[in-house]
Amino acid sequence: MKEVIAIIRRDKVPDTKSALEEVNCPSLSIQSVDGRGKQKGNIYAAMDTDVSDDTLASVKLRPTSSSYALEHHLPKAVTYVPKRMITAVVPSEAVDMVVEAIIRVNQSGQHGDGKIFVCPIEDAIRIRTGQSSTEAI
């Protein structure tokens, strides 16, 4: 068994859920997360053109300042970008299909497309029935 963790853009969640259902991965968890990548939260760093106020108003991603930085008067507030984290535990043989489905929906070629992590799972136990291993997922 493997845990597939995908951090994706907020507006891609419905399409990602549909793609995962198509590859027989209906069970997942979704969380709201804030974070940053190599651009350190500057979602405009990779843009080739000047950013106007109209462009800023139309951008769906709104970076937010770290509350710690604001409360402690740090010289420059760290910026985080709101994302969604999808977690699914799948049989090892299904990992490639799940990862490919996530990439197919979320890959735009732009900074901020997200990340996928694949981690080993030692065991899973369904509390209601006591089933374990792949029967529990």
Tell which residue, 63, 13, 11, has the closest CA to residue 37.
63
Report the predicted TM-score, pTM, of the whole model to 2 decimal places.
Answer: 0.74
The model's pLDDT over 19-38, given as tens digits with 9 standing for 90+, comes to: 999 999 989 999 999 988 87
Domain boundaries, the chain: 2-136
Give the per-residue pLDDT at 49: 44
Highest mean pLDDT among 41-45, 91-95, 110-114 belongs to 91-95
Instruction: Work out the average pLDDT over 40-63.
Output: 50
Confidence label for 46 from pLDDT (cuts 50, 70 and 90)? very low
Topology given in CATH for the domain delimited by 2-136: Alpha-Beta Plaits (3.30.70)
Instruction: Work out the average pLDDT over 60-87.
Output: 67
Compute CA distances 88 → 47, 92, 97, 105, whole Å.
Answer: 33, 12, 12, 16
Give the per-residue pLDDT at 80: 83
Give the per-residue pLDDT at 19: 97
Helix axes 95-106, 13-22, angle to 10 degrees: 150
